[in-house]
Amino acid sequence: MTDRIPPSGLPLASHAPGKAILFGEHAVVFGKTAVVLALDMGTDLEISGLRGTGSGTYNGSERAARANPYLQTSLLAHPPPQPLDLRCRSQLPRASGLGSSAAFTAGLMTALLGMEGGAERTTLALESFRAERQAQGVGSPVDTSAAVAGGVLSVGARAPGDKLWELPAEDGRPAWHVARLPDPGWTWVVGFTGVPKDTATVVRRVGERVKAPDGPRLLEQIDSLALQGCDALRAGDRAAVGRLMNENQRQLVELGISHPRLDDLMRSVEKLAVGAKITGAGGGGSIIVLPCPGDELRVGQAISHAGGVPFVVKVAARGASVQPLTGGPQPPGTGGRRA
Ligand code: MEV
């Protein structure tokens, strides 16, 4: 993607999409392949300047601004010319596995780089990853890349597809490559358990789990499956994508990231899905379902009856964007729908 983030003065509005990981969460932290979908539900920010020298406000509160680690790491990296008043509206439940932190960080970083006169999108990808990573302490660029690029992406040391950018890893690990895959145009259903998860805690737990003798083999198997997933998506082969999702789910259970509420939701969609799996860190959070064609709403109802919150979603083609705010009502975000 070669487009630039345009220059933007205050006040401004930015938008960034959420994400669902289709294959390879956790393994991607170790450089293995993951496939991620940017979702047509995301986060909208409205930002204006404040007079004086204060630390700025988040949804009207100075304390909330100070307590938001993603806000703080972003502002530290790219200090704005004056204190900011930040208003956030998000369709993404927090700690749901749907990339709310990444969408917030990428949306804010787009605004900060816009205020600095604009930037290449690759710079936005790097800066969003750094700010999220610094706030979280662990993790890969999978979530922020989806928020920045939109569409369907592969991420990892190999990353098949049309290359977008490369992001450095620490500890001598290979860099993450990020590439674009085609969007088959399908409708997906996400089911949120309502149980918030803490990504950093689950990622650290998995870090311990893969030190077991079978850990490296499991990571290799996830990598190989995600690479097959890239081929299946390129071929638009719905049955193969679903089969690989089910197989990836078994691997995620072996990694130890399931939760009784995730198991309930998985059972509820069994008969209506081509494929279903945990999406994101797990330990709570959400599942993603590829429904049998025409069964999207029935899948949503099944998730609802099992006590989850369903979202019927498609891939968002566009990544993070910024535009000046000229007053009057703003156009709403790109609109994820609750089933
Ligand atoms: C979280 O959305 C995905 C994980 O793989 C962590 C990461 O890649 O940063 C669990």
Q: How confident is the model at residue 327 (pLDDT cuts 50, 70, 90)?
A: low
| pLDDT, mean of residues 312-336 | 75
Average pLDDT, rounded, for the chain: 95
CA 281 – ligand 1 centroid, Å: 6
CA of 159 to the centre of ligand 1 (A): 16
Chain segment 201-258, per-residue pLDDT in tens: 999 999 999 999 999 999 999 999 999 999 999 999 999 999 999 999 999 999 999 9
- pLDDT for the residue 170: 82
pLDDT of residue 335 exceeding 50, the answer is no
Ligand 1 atom with minimal separation from the 203 CA = 10
Alpha-carbon distance of 240 to 217, in angstroms, equals: 23
Give the torsion sign (CA, 154, 159, 162, 166).
Answer: positive
* pLDDT tens digits for range 24-74: 999 999 999 999 999 999 999 999 999 988 889 999 999 999 999 999 999
Task: Calculate mean pLDDT across residues 152-171.
Answer: 95
Q: Which residues of 276-306 are buried (b: 16+ CB within 10 A; e: fewer)?
A: bbbbbbbbbbbbbbbbbeebbebbbebbeeb
pLDDT category of residue 333 using cuts at 50, 70 and 90: very low
Nearest-10 Cα torsion for 179, 185, 191, 197: 10
Greater confidence, 144 or 174?
144
More confident position, 1 or 110: 110
In this structure, the residue with its CA closest to atom 10 of ligand 1 is 281
- pLDDT for residue 329 is more than 70: no
Distance 160 CA to ligand 1 centre (A): 19
CB 232 within 8 A of CB 182: no
